[in-house]
Amino acid sequence: DSTTAKTEAKPAVVPGGNYATLKRSNGTVFLLDSLKDGSISQGNTRIEKKNGMLIYSVAEDKNLRADQIIYNTLSTPAGGQYQVLLPDGSKVWLNAASSLYFPSAFKSDIREVSIQGEAYFEVAHDNRRPFHVKVEDMVVKVLGTHFNINAYKDDDNIRTSLLEGSIRITTGNTSKLLQPGQQGILKTGNGALDVKDADMDHVIAWKNGLFDFSGSDFYTIMHQISRWYNVDIEFAGQVPNRDFEGKISRKAQLSEILQILELQNLKFEVTGGKIIVKN
């Protein structure tokens, strides 16, 4: 019976893929994983869906009024990722359990978007219109550059990592300029903003289809696994206080990931969409 087939849950241990929902301020909602590739909306804005990516192209219209601009929210579930090419030519990669809020056309002197979760940006250079990314009370100001923002709610920090170009992070009365190879760390509890050097290959491993456990603590690793395999984590004992090493493809089965972690004298039980960590 076809209704049963639709409601059947996906196996909990399958790695994530290109899954997302697009909600538009005019009321339309697109479930992108069940939608065929091709053009999905017409009018002043043309949206094309192609291989896990949305491509926005907008006809230049100098008379476009602010109330004619449609706002979009692209959201990935746990176990999902997606890419979008914005109307200005900027490209954004969204990690699992994340969302990007953006207009169908950048009309004014500022290109502004908002994110939750994690996203990697390659911003198209435009001297006339700086690009702003809002994350809670923080704004990242850009002209044209490559950077990553990690702002999951279950972390105490918002990490902004710069690969190329320059960005300015502003929060409250604090403002810091980042150089390539640096990471701005905003402590969400007290609003303190620190800058340090960071391993950019490690930061954007997710965007390149990898888990990179090198130097990560166990808590961080388990959060990454939880989001990508859409499983809950339960700690039946103390969380190990040590750093890990190693890289593995995000296409790997959950069992393969856990086998690697078990080399660190850990034990895992997977049951009903949940990983129980035993040590």
Predicted local confidence at residue 44, as pLDDT? 73
pLDDT of residue 10: 39
User: Quick one: 162 exposed, middle or buried, by C-beta within 10 A (0-12, 13-18, 19+)?
Assistant: buried
Q: Which pair of structure tokens corresponds to residue 200?
A: 């950019």
User: Residue 129 and residue 173: Cα distance in Å, rounded?
Assistant: 23
96 near 227, Cβ under 8 Å? yes
* Residue at token pair 């923080």: 138
- What is the total residue count of the chain? 279
Mean pLDDT, contiguous 10-residue spans, the chain (279 residues): 42 83 93 91 82 86 74 97 96 98 88 97 93 96 94 94 97 95 94 95 97 90 95 87 87 93 88 89
Alpha helices in the chain (DSSP H): 2-7, 200-203, 218-229, 254-262
The pLDDT assigned to 5 comes to: 40
For residue 1, what pLDDT is reported?
A: 44
- Angle, vertex CA 176, rays to CA 203 and CA 178, nearest 5: 40
* DSSP bridge pairs for 175: 170
Name the residue among 276, 66, 69 with its Cα closest to residue 56.
Answer: 69
**What gap in Å lies between CA 169 and CA 160, rounded to an integer?**
8
DSSP 172: T
- In this structure, the number of other CB atoms found within 10 A of the CB of residue 179 comes to 11
Q: What is the pLDDT of residue 180?
A: 97
